[in-house]
Amino acid sequence: MSLGYAQKLSYREDVGVVGLTELFDPPAVLQRKIEELALIIKKSKHLVAFTGAGISTACGIPDFRGPKGVWTLQREGKGVPEASLPFHRAMPSLTHMALVELERTGILKFVISQNIDSLHLRSGIPREKLAELHGNSFSELCPSCGAEYLRDFEVETIGMKLTPRRCSDVKCGARLRDTVLDWGDALPVKEMNPAEQHCKMADVVLCLGTSLQITPACNLPLKSLNGGGKIVIVNLQPTPKDKKASLVIHGQVDKVIAGVMHFLNVQIPPYVRIDFVHINLKHAPRKKTYVKWILKVASLHGSRAPLPFVKSVEVSFPERPDMKTAFLAKQPFVLKRETARKRPFTMALKFNFIDGCRCSFTTVFWGVNFQVNKCRLN
């Protein structure tokens, strides 16, 4: 969960039980339960995962009800806890990626999440197999035509308010809204209906890292019981639904899921993040011999959307010492120049990334020839 999200929420005195002591099954008991869960998953015909904040703590995102959770510390008057990294830089956990592989192999049929951190989508879970009950901090929705826009930056508002951007459909153009619920907001029918349907069909609902306290979401797993399904709960704290579960495992979610995948002999894929930028070059002849051109490097999501990983862009011309190197430090990155029409050149665009990225920069080469009106990107 986003700390920004926690701070934007309307104040509510009663947020339920918080700060319960974390429980850890003894090693031998934990291993036995992991193997039992693996067999349950192996025999399942319609497995549904129901996830909460506990699967994202390994990503550097604090939970809500744990000993150092957002609401636990707020109740103690300590304010919002610090995240270990900016929210948009959080990467999917081992559990997120294990769910991706279980879905890919056909074992996992659907994911229901109370999280708004976008990590399920970022990991690779197909949108049509995911219900985000409380919204997504990185998503915007067009209230007119229903188009969804997944961003690589955290949307400014919560509570389904209007955002600064508009629908890109030329026939629509309506102002977009954020998708994150505030206290008292009704769960979206578009997310609830498939979630309820899959829980009714499920022979196993696997609850991972959730306190199962927030209604009505917490009652969804119970719908599997009417059809003879099972509930399995993996959480460090006791939940109100433990008595309804066939198996309760008190252990770290990543450790449990890693053990299950090992027992099933299914490899967990690594996470590879892909980010896109839009490089645009516009030009117009000023005279027969000169061309005025504008280079713009911006987000695919529009000129008002940030590029969260790019700190600056250096534009150089390695084959043209007569052309001055430009250092662009402000987003959107824009360079305006005028050059001879008959002299083609190659631009080297060096993208300098923010601190914490695995590589500090990457370079893209772009061949430009205004005389034949062609550009070549390498």
Residue 114 and residue 61 share a domain? yes
- CA 232 to each of CA 47, 229, 244: distance values in angstroms, whole numbers, following the listed order: 11, 10, 9
d(CA 32, CA 21): 23
Domain of residue 326 covers: 277-377
d(CA 3, CA 86): 9
- Those residues whose C-beta lies under 8 Å from the C-beta of residue 104, and which sit 6 or more positions away, are none
Name the percent of the chain lying above pLDDT 90: 58
pLDDT at residue 1, as a whole number: 40
d(CA 118, CA 88): 9
Among 265, 218, 283, 225, which residue's Cα sits nearest to residue 65?
Answer: 218
Among 349, 290, 351, which residue's Cα sits nearest to residue 325?
Answer: 349
* Among candidate residues 264, 296, 328, the one where a domain is terminated: 264
Q: What angle do CA 128, 64, 68 make, to 5 degrees?
A: 140
Residue 108 and residue 22 share a domain? yes
More confident residue, 225 or 3: 225
d(CA 118, CA 111): 13
* Among candidate residues 240, 264, 288, the one where a domain is terminated: 264
Among 261, 299, 199, which residue's Cα sits nearest to residue 34?
Answer: 261
358 confidence band (pLDDT: 50, 70, 90): confident
Residue 130 and residue 214 share a domain? yes
* Among candidate residues 264, 292, 320, the one where a domain is terminated: 264
CATH code, domain with 319: 2.60.40.1970
Residue 283 and residue 257 share a domain? no
Q: Confirm whether 198 is a catalytic residue.
A: no
Residue 331 and residue 234 share a domain? no
Upstream peptide bond of 332 is cis (omega within 30 degrees of 0): yes
Average pLDDT of the chain, as a whole number: 86
138 DSSP β-pair partners:
none
Token digits for 311? 């700190």
Residue 283, pLDDT > 60, answer yes
Helices 27-43 and 253-264, axial angle in degrees (round to 10): 60
Residue 343 and residue 194 share a domain? no
14 confidence band (pLDDT: 50, 70, 90): low
Per-residue b/e over 240-277, b at no fewer than 16 CB within 10 Å?
Answer: ebeebbeebbbbbbbbbbbbbbebbebebeebeeeeeb
295 DSSP β-pair partners:
281, 335
Residue 200 and residue 227 share a domain? yes
Q: What confidence tens digit (pLDDT) does each residue in 221-245 have?
A: 999 999 999 999 999 999 999 999 9
| Of 46, 96, 120, 134, catalytic | 134
Taking the CA atoms of the chain, what radius of gyration do you get in angstroms?
25
Q: What angle do CA 164, 167, 173 make, to 5 degrees?
A: 100
356: left (phi over 0), alpha (psi -120 to 50) or beta: left
pLDDT at residue 180, as a whole number: 92
Q: What confidence tens digit (pLDDT) does each residue in 72-96 have?
A: 555 555 555 565 566 777 889 999 9
d(CA 12, CA 20): 19
Residue 241 and residue 101 share a domain? yes
Tell me, what amino acid is at 38? A
Q: 241 in a domain, yes or no?
A: yes
d(CA 14, CA 17): 9
Reported pTM:
0.77
Token digits for 326? 């430009």
More confident residue, 214 or 349: 349
d(CA 112, CA 89): 23
Helix (H) or strand (E) holding 253: helix 253-264
Q: What angle do CA 363, 366, 370 make, to 5 degrees?
A: 160
Domain count across the chain: 2
Q: 12 in a domain, yes or no?
A: yes
Q: 155 in a domain, yes or no?
A: no
134 within 8 A of 152, measured Cβ to Cβ? no
CATH code, domain with 10: 3.40.50.1220
Residue 86 DSSP class: -
